[in-house]
Amino acid sequence: MNILEVNNLKVWDAHSGKKIIQDSSFHLKRGNCLAIVGESGSGKSVTCRTIMRLNSPSLLHSGDILLNGENINQLSEKEMRKKRGRNLCMILQNGMSAFDPSCVVGVHLRETLTEHFNWSKREIEESMTVAMKSVMLKNPTEIMNKYPHQLSGGMLQRIMIALAFVLEPDIIIADEPTTALDTISQFEVVEQFMKLRERMGCSMIFISHDLGVVRKIADDMLVMKNGEIVERGNTEAIFVQPEHEYTNYLISTRVALSSHFKRLIGGGVVVAKG
């Protein structure tokens, strides 16, 4: 059964008339992870921000977006705010942009959870403490009393994942969540996403240009180029036998880079003799 269906989605710039998303239709199966891949400017993030209704006012869109059979494209902004967080939770690529820099992280967490649950301040802090410990964040109380700029990108990403643990949304949309992180933090965050799926059984849309991560986490994938979906299907099947030349280019480029890196590492270190 599909938890999300997007039909004939078109997005265009109101000022220039430029088409950004041509005519996209896809679905997300309940409990599955769907990856959307493609180079920068291919339309990945715009597609997902349209689902969340978070695009700038200058970007207009048409089409149907069905969440559990309900066309959320027809909801008012007030009704849509109720869907965000509780039903649709988006984890951004830059953790810093997700938090208000003028207040400590705990304030943002309390405001978000108060919007969806009739909990006391103590209940919120207790729930967040448990969730933050589950994503390997030590001293949750101390972290919640820090400003976003006092925390690393990896910590901010894990706080957002912890918030998702508490909200238990129907769908998590992760927009390039590892892009701004160092290699070790990337690995840790991907592990937390996998843990999130395993624990909650939630559905996920994972936007990434990192095909190694996509192959590890996604059941199905869409390949986008210039605002169009050029290939779709089972992730492993696409990696083994891509049909579109652009998909083949993306995969072969990643393989070539990986092989080159392995050759460099395998070659050892040459020490100059003086």
Between 153-167 and 121-134, two packed helices, what is the crossing angle to 10 degrees? 120
| CA quadruple 135, 138, 140, 143: dihedral sign | negative
- What pTM was estimated for this model as a whole? 0.85
3-class state of residue 31 by DSSP: coil
**What is the third-level CATH fold of 2-97+172-266?**
Rossmann fold (3.40.50)
Map out the domains of the chain as residue ranges: 2-97+172-266
Give the pLDDT score at 234. Answer: 97
Write down the mean pLDDT value for the chain.
88
Under the banding of pLDDT at 50, 70 and 90, the label for residue 195 is confident
Q: Which of 2-6, 59-63, 123-127, 196-200 has the lowest mean pLDDT?
A: 196-200
What is the distance between the alpha carbons of residues 135 and 109, in angstroms, rounded to a whole number? Answer: 16
Average pLDDT on 73-88 reads: 91
The residue with greater pLDDT, 96 or 67, is 67
Q: In the β-sheet with 19-29, what is the strand arrangement from edge to edge? A: 19-29, 2-13, 59-67, 70-71
List pLDDT tens digits, range 40-56. Answer: 889 999 999 999 999 99
261, pLDDT greater than 50: no
Average pLDDT on 85-101 reads: 84
Q: How many CA atoms lie within 13 A of 226 on its CB side?
A: 2
Query: DSSP readout, 90-129?
Result: EE-S-GGGGS-TTS-HHHHHHHHHHHH----HHHHHHHHH
Spatial contact of 157 and 181, defined as CB atoms under 8 Å apart = yes
Under the banding of pLDDT at 50, 70 and 90, the label for residue 180 is low
Under the banding of pLDDT at 50, 70 and 90, the label for residue 266 is low
